[in-house]
Amino acid sequence: MDLPATEYEEAWRLQSDLVAARKKKKGLDTDVVMLLEHPPVFTIGRHGGLKNLTVSEKFLEKRNIPLIRVERGGDITFHGPGQLVIYPIIDLHAAGLSVLNYIENMEEVMIRTVQDWGIMAQRSLVNRGVWVNDNKLGSVGIAIRRGICFHGMALNVNMSLEPFYWINPCGMQKMTMTSMEQELSSPVSINRVRRAIKQHIEMVFDVELVTTSLSELDCLH
C-alpha cells in the first residue's frame, strides 16, 4: 500500500488499527505492507533514552521536529523526506517466519534493492541493519503485539543526513549514516526505489503484493 508523506503519529495509529484487525481477522485476513515517507521526526525505541540526543529538546522544538517514544526495538533514530519507510503488518506464525528470519529477510530486501543501483551493502556481524563499509544505509526496528509484527525498516534514499548528527543513531556514538544518493554522488529517484523494493519484497518473502488503498480496507471503516 503506497501512501503519501504521512505524519509519524498518524502512521503509528494506522499500524495499531491494522494490527488489531489482523489479529481478530475482522475485515483483514491478510498481511499488509505500507510504504511511505515521514516529515522530519525523531523516534526513541523501547531500549533508548534522551542520553543519545546530542542537542537539546528546545533545539528540536525551534525546528518543529517532534520527538516520539515508541514500542519498537532499538534506540533513537531520525525519519524524514527522502527516506523510504516500509511497515509490514504481518502474522509471523501464519507466514512461517521466526523473528530472526523476518529481520534477516528485511535486511536482504534492502541489500538487493540497493544492489540494483550498484551499491554493495551488507549486514554487520554485531549490529542489525544494512551497511556500506562502516556507514549505515538502512535500519530495522520491530514490535510484536498479540503475535502480529509491525514497525519495520527504513532505507535512506536521498534524504538530508544532517539530523543524524544531532543524535547517536541507534545509540551508537561516532556511527555515520549514509544514503543511496551519497554513495552514488548522483540523484536517486525515491519512486524508482519504491518500485524496486516492492519487487524484492515479493522475491525474498515469496509473496505477491496486491495494490490496495486505505479506502479499500474494510477493517478501517
For residue 122, pLDDT over 90 is answered with yes
Distance from chain centroid for Cα 57: 23
Contact 153, 139 (CB under 8 A): yes
Any idea which of 12-26, 53-67, 77-91, 174-188 has the lowest mean pLDDT? Answer: 12-26
**pLDDT at residue 140 in the model:** 95
Class (C level, CATH) for 8-220: alpha beta
The yes-or-no answer on residue 170 being catalytic is: yes
**pLDDT at residue 27 in the model:** 61
**pLDDT at residue 67 in the model:** 96
Identify the active-site residue in 170, 188, 193, 201: 170
For the segment 146-160, the average pLDDT, to the nearest whole number, is 96
Shortest CA distance to 40 belongs to which of 16, 19, 59, 17?
A: 59
Q: How far apart are CA 32 and CA 217, in angstroms?
A: 10
**pLDDT at residue 44 in the model:** 93
Q: Where are the domains of the chain?
A: 8-220
Residue 171's contacts (CB-CB under 8 Å, 6 or more residues apart) are 47, 48, 52, 74, 75, 76
Q: How far apart are CA 131 and CA 124, in angstroms?
A: 7
For residue 219, pLDDT over 80 is answered with no
pTM equals: 0.94
